[in-house]
Each structure stands twice: as structure tokens, then as C-alpha cells.
Amino acid sequence: MKLKCSSAATPRTSHLHHSPITLLLFHLCRSELRCEDFWHDWKEQLLVAASASLSKSPADKDAEDQPERITKTCQQLECVCYGLGPFASCVSARYQLAMLLLLLEAGQIPLKDCSVYDPVFSSGERDVLRDLGLTVLSENEEGKRLVEKPTFFYLMHCGKALYNNLLWKNWSARGLPLMIIIGNSFTGMRERTIEKEFKRDYSYISKAVDFSVERKLACPSHLIDVFNDTAVITFPSNSLNGLPQSTWAESPEPQYQHSPDLEIILKETRS
Ligand SMILES: C[S@@+](CC[C@H](N)C(=O)[O-])C[C@H]1O[C@@H](n2cnc3c(N)ncnc32)[C@H](O)[C@@H]1O
């Protein structure tokens, strides 16, 4: 079964944008995912990453494996989801939304603390997200969100520019460890991109790939198009503290002048 989002393959028929139907389809996806074994792996990996990221004192570290404590620390996480896609018409995006809600529930992260944005969302889709209790952003941040507290980013199959912008905005030994990303493997991106272009256009991913920690997430074969090539990516302070100061010294804003097929929708600029 092919589940990739494509506006050609999945015409955005108006009845599918009707909120109650979309909500019903979403609930079906969530019930289905709940019965799958692999989602428990996602839950565990997120909780462990969150616990490591939020633990400050050695006493916290000793308590890392206490489930109650882990969940308590998760509640302090903020969540940002970019690039979910048109989930009213795209089955893949709908499953990804269902997984996001399961993860928020597992971590007891309040739904209002999860902000979602995709420039392709229809007004019906924005209504559904609000009905679910999520916060819908109105501004295209281009992924350039400055993190002030531990934050879980959910970027499923997003363009490299979105990840690169996010890394740029938080490019410091203090900022990066605050982020937990569930998204495409940086190692996979490096393998699939011509080295010269990867270093030139996506310099922040290209550098981060050497010191970030990636834990591959399980994906069953029948949902390969939805959840493949996904990892929990973290930036442990201890690996960052050993890096030379020059790592952080020059960090120009990404421009992408040479990128032929930029997989990001940029902010509309007023003329
Ligand atoms: C390859 S699609 C992935 C869609 C879906 N998650 C999937 O796996 O099929 C990339 C998504 O990123 C979204 N996107 C592009 N620019 C964006 C931006 N500036 N902020 C948030 N999302 C963006 C696109 O609209 C698109 O839905």
C-alpha cells in the first residue's frame, strides 16, 4: 500500500475536509496504531531522551529509569510539529498525526503545549487540530524557532532546509541540548546527498551529524512510507562541551541560493 502524500494521487476533495469526517478518520488511525507493537518503541525512546535532556543533577540521573519520574519530567516538555502535511486527504500524514497524539499522551505533555504548523493546512484541518486541543501557529517560522526550554520537535519527512534552519537558530552548546527531534535520520540525509551540496547548503546538519546521537525508530513494513528512516535525535551536552569554540564562532543564517529543489515553503515577503 502506497501512503505517500501527493496532491495528484490524493485529490483534496471537499468532503474529506469536513472536520467530523477527518476527526473520525484520525481516531481510527490512532486506535489502529495503539494496537501496533512498534509504537511502544517510539514511546520508550522519546521518554528516555526526554528524561536525559531534562535531568540536571546526579540524583535526577539515578532516577532516570523510574517510569513515574520519567513521565513527570516529560510533562515539562514543549512540542513543535512542522510539516505534517495535508492530513485530511493524506493517509500518511494522518497516521503521523495519530502517532504525535499518542506520544503526547504517553509523555503527558499538555496538548496546548504542542504547536503545529504546515503552510498547506486547509482551514478545516486547522479546525480539527484546534478541536484536538493543539495550538495552531499562524506564522511561517521557516523552522527558525529559538528554543528556551526542553522542546520535542516532530518533523516527519520534512525537507532538509527545515532541519537546517532549526539547527542554525539554536546553534550553541546551550541551545542544541534542549532539543529532541523525532524526524529523518541526519546520517540518512548525508548518505543520500552529494557531499559538496550537503556541506554547502545544509552546513548545520552536516556538522551536527558528527556529534548528535541518533536512535533509529522501529517501523513495520506495512507502514514503511509513513514512518521509515525516522530516528530520535539528541545533542548530549557532554559531546558538545568537548567541541572546539570555533564550532560555534561563525554561524551565518542559511541562504540556499544554490539549492535547486528547496523542500521548504518560505515566508511570503511583502513588496
Ligand atoms: C515531504 S512533505 C511531508 C509530509 C508528511 N509529513 C509525509 O510524511 O508525507 C514536507 C512537508 O513540509 C511542509 N513544509 C514546507 N515548508 C514548511 C514550513 N516553512 N514550515 C512547516 N512545514 C513546511 C510541506 O508543506 C509538506 O507538507
- The grid cell for 141 is 517560522
Best residue among 265, 266, 268, 269 to mutate for probing ligand 1's pocket (most ligand atoms within 8 Å of CB) is 265
The response to whether residue 156 sits with its C-beta less than 6 Å from ligand 1 reads yes
- The grid cell for 251 is 554561524
**What average pLDDT does the segment 72-94 reach?**
92
Ligand 1 centroid, distance to 211 Cα (angstroms): 26
Range from 74-78, 133-137, 202-206, 245-249 carrying the lowest mean pLDDT: 74-78
Please report the pLDDT score of residue 5 as a whole number.
67
pLDDT tens, residue by residue, 253-265:
999 887 777 889 9
Residue pair 116/84 in contact by the 8 Å Cβ criterion: yes
Strand partners, 11: none
The response to whether residue 153 sits with its C-beta less than 6 Å from ligand 1 reads no
Residue pair 152/77 in contact by the 8 Å Cβ criterion: yes
Please report the pLDDT score of residue 13 as a whole number.
45
Confidence of residue 8 (pLDDT cuts 50, 70, 90): very low
User: What are the extents of the domains in the chain?
Assistant: 39-249
**What average pLDDT does the segment 161-166 reach?**
98
Task: Using the predicted structure, report yes or no on whether residue 57 has a pLDDT greater than 50.
Answer: no
Interatomic CA distance for residues 53 and 219, integer angstroms? 24
Range among 165-169, 194-198, 236-240 rated most confident: 165-169
- Please write down the HEC assignment for all residues of the chain: CCCCCCCCCCCCCHHHHCHHHHHHHHHHHHHHHHCCCHHHHHHHHHHHHHHHHHCCCHHHHHCCCCHHHHHHHHCCCEEEEECCCCCCCCHHHHHHHHHHHHHHHHCCCCHHHEEEECCCCCHHHHHHHHHHCCEECCCCCCCCCCCCCCEEEEECCCCHHHHHHHHHHCCCCCCHHHEEEEEECHHHHHHHCCHHHHHHHCHHHHHHCCCCEEEECCCCHHHHHHHCCEEEEECCHHHHHCCCCHHHHCCCCCCCCCCCCCCCCCCCCCC
**What average pLDDT does the segment 219-239 reach?**
96
- Going by alpha carbons, the residue nearest to atom 4 of ligand 1 is 85
Range from 24-28, 39-43, 196-200 carrying the lowest mean pLDDT: 24-28
Looking at domain 39-249, its CATH class is alpha beta
**What average pLDDT does the segment 200-211 reach?**
96
Ligand 1 centroid, distance to 196 Cα (angstroms): 25
The response to whether residue 92 sits with its C-beta less than 6 Å from ligand 1 reads yes
